[in-house]
Amino acid sequence: MGKIADPARKSIGARRNPDSADAILEAAEAVLIEAGYAGFSIEAVARRARAGKPTIYRWWPSKAALLLEVYQRQKRVDIPDTASLEEDLVGFLINLFTHWRETSSGSIFKSLIAEAQSDETAAAALAGYAGGRRTHTGQIVERAKARGEIAGDIDPAVVADLVASYAWRHLLINRLDEPEATIRKMVRYLLQGIEAPGGQR
Amino acid sequence: MGKIADPARKSIGARRNPDSADAILEAAEAVLIEAGYAGFSIEAVARRARAGKPTIYRWWPSKAALLLEVYQRQKRVDIPDTASLEEDLVGFLINLFTHWRETSSGSIFKSLIAEAQSDETAAAALAGYAGGRRTHTGQIVERAKARGEIAGDIDPAVVADLVASYAWRHLLINRLDEPEATIRKMVRYLLQGIEAPGGQR
DNA sequence: TACCCATCGGAACGGAACGTTTCGTTGAAT
DNA sequence: ATTCAACGAAACGTTCCGTTCCGATGGGTA
Cβ distance B168 to A164 less than 8 Å, yes or no, reads no
Q: What is the pLDDT of residue A5?
A: 31
Residue A153 has pLDDT above 60, yes or no: yes
Nucleotide nearest B55, CA–C1', reads: D7
The CA–C1' separation of A62 and C8, in angstroms, is 19
- CATH number of this structure's domain B74-191, picked from the four choices 1.10.357.10, 2.40.420.20, 3.30.365.10, 2.60.40.420: 1.10.357.10
| Rg of the Cα atoms in chain A | 20
Q: Is residue B126 within a helix (H) or strand (E), and if so which, with residue range?
A: helix B120-131
The CA–C1' separation of B19 and C29, in angstroms, is 18
CA torsion sign for B123, B74, A117, A78 is positive
pLDDT range class, residue B4, cuts 50, 70, 90 = very low
Q: Which of B161, B163, B183 should be substituted to probe chain A, the one whose Cβ sees the most A Cβ atoms within 10 Å? A: B161
Average pLDDT over residues A128-132: 76
Q: Are A66 and A46 in contact (CB under 8 A)?
A: no
Q: What is the pLDDT of residue A161?
A: 94
Give the CATH fold of the A17-73 domain: Arc Repressor Mutant, subunit A (1.10.10)
In tens, the pLDDT along A41-60 reads 999 999 999 999 999 999 99
Contacts of B82 (CB under 8 A, 6+ apart): B88, B91
Residue A194 has pLDDT above 70, yes or no: no
pLDDT range class, residue B185, cuts 50, 70, 90 = very high
Q: Are B109 and B100 in contact (CB under 8 A)?
A: yes
Strand, helix or coil at A188?
A: helix
Q: What is the DSSP letter of B82?
A: -
Backbone angles phi, psi at A195, to 5 degrees: -65, 140
Strand, helix or coil at A201?
A: coil
Average pLDDT over residues B172-184: 95
A114 touches chain B (CB under 8 A): yes
Q: What is the pLDDT of residue B17?
A: 64
Q: In chain B, where does the domain assigned CATH 1.10.10.60 lie?
A: 17-60
Average pLDDT over residues A13-33: 80
Q: In chain B, where does the domain assigned CATH 1.10.357.10 lie?
A: 74-191
Residue B5 has pLDDT above 60, yes or no: no
Chain A nearest-CA distance from B117, in A, is 6
In tens, the pLDDT along A66-121 reads 998 998 888 678 889 998 999 999 999 999 999 999 887 888 899 999 999 888 88
Q: Does any strand C atom come closer than 7 Å to the Cβ of B53?
A: yes
Q: Are A48 and A54 in contact (CB under 8 A)?
A: no
Q: What is the pLDDT of residue A132?
A: 67
Contacts of B110 (CB under 8 A, 6+ apart): A117, B37, B171, B172
Give the residue ranges with Cβ < 7 A from strand D.
A 15, 39-44, 52-54, 57, 62-63; B 5, 11-17, 20-21, 49-55, 58-59
In tens, the pLDDT along B75-88 reads 777 889 998 999 99
B126 touches chain A (CB under 8 A): yes
What is the complex's ipTM, to 2 decimals? 0.84
Q: What is the pLDDT of residue A20?
A: 79
Q: In chain A, where does the domain assigned CATH 1.10.10.60 lie?
A: 17-73
Residue A3 has pLDDT above 80, yes or no: no
CATH superfamily of B17-60: Homeodomain-like (1.10.10.60)
Alpha helix ranges (H) inside chain A: 17-35, 42-49, 53-59, 63-73, 85-102, 105-115, 120-131, 136-146, 156-172, 180-191
**Residue in chain A nearest B123 by alpha carbon:** A173
Average pLDDT over residues A147-157: 87
